[in-house]
């Protein structure tokens, strides 16, 4: 046991990790450039701490490339405390500026001189494609710049030899999500939070007055924010630069708006990307749209331009975790780089961190713009990536109801049910399933109050407009219970017979998974259960086997992070105070671990990583040391079931006793506030997409067997649909049984445990971080498998 660091890391492993990844004698410069984005500070913090951790010197380069050109006080060595308390701050503390001088060779010559004087030959650039392209040009010219500096006598020949090569790693910080090759750029999720907060607020006032609202969101050349927010709030119409409306859209849109009003919808929301254009590349403005609606329909219409609100505010939990992972990965990439490695970008693919060649990504990103300029719009959508294309197709399917005459009736009845505890995003999933089912010709049935309601016959047909406005609602409108079907099998089979149910979609947590296993086991006895059954995971605990993420976990994580931010603020005010916070999750430590990473906690106690009294003691010592620095506060997160004897009270009392005279303690149990609240943009979007995919699978299964009269008895007709690493996968429950720890209701293997060392390193514990699976550069993916991007 390594008592002065993380007990789970033997000394030898830690030493090997530092040998593999030594930063001794190296200097890293970190800068933020271009437009700011929430989460940039989290990335800066991770770069600084991981760099110092490996023994490298890390320098802040203030005001982007301008600071690099001006030198002097703009390039300053950072220490561990320099990045304390910045995780929850939006924008960038080291400043960002547009820089004309860096575009000239003279400017880059000055920048090279300033860097060489401090021995900085590793640069971590956080910015958009312009900033990253600039960095790549700089890297290409580096050796000739140094030769020129030596000729002018500004640096010595030894300097040229010693610093002859510049390594560059990029991280994309941009709220527009306009960079090809990465699923999410730093800041995008937070910008969506700002947009959705505004949309939710506008919806209540619009309902009161039966108004139409035109909302303009950012995205000069990229419609991602507009598209995803339209998907997340169920907007009536959306305008994107990549996919302009067809000729005659004015009339089509007005018909659509008046049809929605006729369906008793009291408001219309139209979302416009600031770069929206028509097929002739002429701009479509929000004012134009307003005038059109007022003139044609006479509706009371208002325009709201969100502007810079979208860049502001505190970063979401997703952005903090993304930026922390990318920052650590960027340092690893810099330390592993050789003169032969091309400049790379660290990016996200599904939930995997990957490295991609920088210029390949930049060229693809520029390719999208070129396609738009040349009016090859379908090409532009394809180049944006599979997740953008998927979002667009699902939006079209859910927003615009085809006339009944155009829908071929399938003759199938499909039931949707919520099982387990409520999770934010369940309603978005139900809405999506109902609308996709109807558009594919099925009759959709809603089951109320879980399996118990099913047995009692609380089941009725549900229509297109019945689920209008559901995406933003928290909890479960259908009602949900933890009761399993086991004791109601006869009654449920009878109800399925009565309503001729041909397929079942379960949206729920671990109980939903257990329920699916019970229904599957009862197939021999009850032929009514010989139908396609699929489950979409929805639980704050994120403990369903077969998926890396579940609906509701992101919302819960944001609640935990927001609360921790407030608590940290109160602790900084009082000084020398340690807070112990208990999270939900059953035996699954996902919320505690990821909450700790997003909130910058000092320790997280979870069931998956056993701990004893010596570990608690070493954490107390660690906090005692911390109180001697200028950061005089502590945050400790504990999962509710991490240990039956070391309860929250026990840990609180132990810390209070051991910390006497050094710090005092407070405890806080977060409880059910983690299950409530409006769903986050991620959960709305994830629920919508995964549920639509589940319905498409059901349709496929039913069509396959049509007219053959055969029953569904194979394992592959009872599945869990989930994200696994980078892909959406349907996995038979029979296969998942092997991978489940039923006693503790968790999967036997959980991907996020790999991120444990990351949290410990950023909190200054000794831990070894797995670097082996990441050192290879990949190429930008456009493969056939289903993308897991949200």
Given the residues 6, 36, 70, 176, select the one marked as catalytic: 176
The response to whether 432 counts as a known ligand-binding position is no
Burial class (CB in 10 A: 0-12, 13-18, 19+), 498: exposed
Beta carbons of 673 and 559 less than 8 angstroms apart: yes
| CA distance linking residue 270 with residue 198, whole number of Å | 13
| CA distance linking residue 451 with residue 455, whole number of Å | 6
The response to whether 533 counts as a known ligand-binding position is no
Taken in order 540, 545, 551, 553, the sign of the CA dihedral is: positive
The response to whether 566 counts as a known ligand-binding position is no
The response to whether 677 counts as a known ligand-binding position is no
Residue 84, phi then psi, degrees to nearest 5:
-75, 145
Beta carbons of 211 and 265 less than 8 angstroms apart: no
| CA distance linking residue 355 with residue 776, whole number of Å | 7
The response to whether 274 counts as a known ligand-binding position is yes
Q: Taking the mean position of all CA atoms in its chain, how far away is CA 423?
A: 17
The response to whether 657 counts as a known ligand-binding position is no
The response to whether 720 counts as a known ligand-binding position is no
The response to whether 431 counts as a known ligand-binding position is no
The response to whether 745 counts as a known ligand-binding position is yes
| CA distance linking residue 103 with residue 105, whole number of Å | 7
- Is 152 among the catalytic positions? no
| CA distance linking residue 189 with residue 554, whole number of Å | 11
Residue 27, phi then psi, degrees to nearest 5:
-125, 135
614-to-6, 7, 11, 667 alpha-carbon distances in Å: 11, 8, 16, 21
| CA distance linking residue 418 with residue 396, whole number of Å | 25
The response to whether 543 counts as a known ligand-binding position is yes
Q: What angle do CA 617, 621, 625 make, to 5 degrees?
A: 170
The response to whether 99 counts as a known ligand-binding position is yes
Beta carbons of 180 and 221 less than 8 angstroms apart: no
Q: Taking the mean position of all CA atoms in its chain, how far away is CA 790?
A: 7
Q: Which residues contact 785 (CB under 8 A, 6 or more apart)?
A: 726, 727
For residue 740, the surrounding DSSP H or E stretch is strand 740-741
Work out the angle between the directed axes of helices 105-117 and 129-151 (0-180°, nearest 10): 70
The response to whether 584 counts as a known ligand-binding position is yes
Going by the annotation, the residues of the binding site for beta-D-fructose 2,6-bisphosphate are 482, 539-543, 577, 584-586, 640, 666, 672-675, 745
Binding positions for substrate are 174-176, 211, 218-220, 274, 302, 308-311
What amino acid positions are annotated as catalytic residues? Answer: 176
Annotated binding site: 35, 98-99, 128-131, 174-176, 211, 218-220, 274, 302, 308-311, 482, 539-543, 577, 584-586, 640, 666, 672-675, 745
């Amino acid at each position: 046991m390594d008592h002065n660091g993380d007990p789970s890391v033997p000394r030898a492993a830690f030493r090997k990790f530092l040998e593999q990844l030594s930063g001794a004698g190296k200097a890293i410069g970190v800068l933020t450039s271009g437009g700011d984005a929430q989460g940039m500070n989290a990335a800066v913090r991770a770069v600084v701490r991981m760099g110092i951790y490996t023994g490298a010197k890390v320098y802040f380069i203030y005001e982007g490339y301008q600071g690099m050109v001006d030198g002097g006080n703009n390039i300053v060595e950072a220490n561990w405390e320099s990045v304390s308390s910045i995780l929850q701050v939006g924008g960038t503390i080291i400043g960002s500026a547009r820089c004309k001088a860096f575009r000239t060779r003279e400017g880059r010559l000055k920048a090279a001189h300033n860097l060489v004087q401090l021995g900085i030959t590793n640069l971590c650039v956080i910015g958009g494609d312009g900033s990253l392209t600039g960095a790549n040009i700089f890297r290409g010219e580096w050796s000739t710049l140094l030769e020129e500096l030596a000729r002018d006598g500004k640096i010595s020949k030894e300097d040229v030899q010693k610093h002859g090569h510049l390594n560059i790693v990029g991280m994309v910080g941009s709220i527009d999500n306009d960079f090809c090759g990465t699923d999410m750029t730093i800041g995008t999720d937070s910008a969506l939070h700002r947009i959705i907060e505004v949309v939710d607020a506008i919806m209540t006032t619009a309902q009161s007055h039966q108004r139409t609202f035109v909302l303009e969101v950012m995205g000069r050349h990229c419609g991602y924010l507009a598209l995803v927010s339209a998907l997340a709030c169920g907007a009536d119409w959306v305008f994107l630069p990549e996919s302009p409306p067809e000729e005659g859209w004015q009339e089509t849109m007005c018909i659509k708006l008046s049809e929605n009003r006729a369906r008793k919808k009291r408001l219309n929301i139209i979302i416009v990307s600031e770069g929206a254009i028509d097929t002739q590349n002429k701009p479509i403005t929000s004012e134009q749209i307003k005038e059109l609606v007022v003139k044609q329909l006479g509706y009371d219409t208002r325009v709201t331009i969100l502007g810079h609100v979208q860049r502001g505010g505190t970063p979401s939990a997703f952005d903090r975790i993304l930026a922390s992972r990318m920052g650590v990965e960027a340092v690893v990439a810099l330390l592993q780089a050789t003169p032969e490695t091309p400049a790379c970008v660290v990016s996200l693919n599904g939930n995997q961190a990957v490295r991609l060649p920088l210029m390949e990504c930049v060229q693809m990103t520029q390719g999208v713009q070129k396609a738009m300029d040349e009016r090859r719009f379908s090409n532009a959508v394809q180049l944006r990536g599979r997740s953008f294309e998927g979002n667009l197709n699902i939006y079209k399917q859910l927003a615009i109801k085809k006339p009944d005459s155009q829908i071929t009736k399938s003759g199938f009845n499909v039931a949707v049910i919520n099982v387990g505890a409520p999770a934010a995003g369940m309603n978005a999933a139900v809405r999506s399933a109902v609308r996709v089912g109807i558009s594919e010709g099925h009759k959709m049935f809603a089951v109320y109050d879980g399996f118990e309601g099913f047995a009692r016959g609380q089941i009725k047909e549900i229509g297109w407009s019945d689920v209008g406005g559901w995406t933003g609602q928290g909890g479960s409108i259908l009602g949900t219970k933890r009761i399993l079907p086991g004791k109601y099998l006869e009654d449920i089979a009878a109800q399925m017979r009565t309503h001729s149910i041909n397929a079942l979609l379960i949206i729920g947590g671990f109980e939903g998974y257990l329920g699916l296993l019970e229904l599957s086991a009862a197939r021999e006895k009850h032929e009514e259960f010989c139908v396609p059954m699929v489950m979409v995971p929805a639980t704050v605990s994120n403990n369903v086997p077969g998926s890396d993420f579940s609906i509701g976990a992101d919302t819960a994580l944001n609640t935990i992070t927001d609360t921790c931010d407030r608590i940290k603020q109160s602790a900084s005010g009082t000084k020398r105070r340690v807070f112990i916070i208990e999270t939900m999750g059953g035996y699954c430590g996902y919320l505690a671990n990821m909450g700790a990473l997003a909130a910058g906690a000092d320790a997280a106690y979870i069931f998956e990583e056993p701990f004893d009294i010596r570990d608690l003691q070493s954490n107390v010592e660690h906090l005692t040391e911390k109180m001697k620095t200028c950061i005089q506060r502590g945050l400790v997160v504990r999962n509710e079931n991490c240990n039956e004897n070391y309860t929250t009270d026990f840990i609180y009392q132990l810390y209070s006793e051991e910390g006497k005279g050094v710090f005092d303690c407070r405890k806080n149990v977060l409880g059910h506030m983690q299950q409530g609240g409006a769903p986050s943009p991620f959960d709305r979007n994830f629920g919508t997409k995964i549920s639509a995919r589940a319905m498409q699978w059901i349709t496929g299964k039913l069509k396959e067997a049509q007219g053959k009269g055969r029953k569904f008895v194979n394992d592959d007709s009872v599945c869990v649909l989930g994200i696994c690493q980078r892909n959406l996968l349907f996995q038979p429950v029979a296969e998942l049984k092997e991978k489940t720890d039923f006693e503790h209701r968790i999967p036997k293997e959980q991907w996020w445990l790999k991120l444990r060392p990351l949290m410990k390193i950023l909190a200054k514990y000794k831990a070894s971080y797995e670097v082996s699976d990441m050192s290879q550069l990949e190429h930008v993916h456009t493969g056939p498998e289903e993308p897991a991007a949200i």
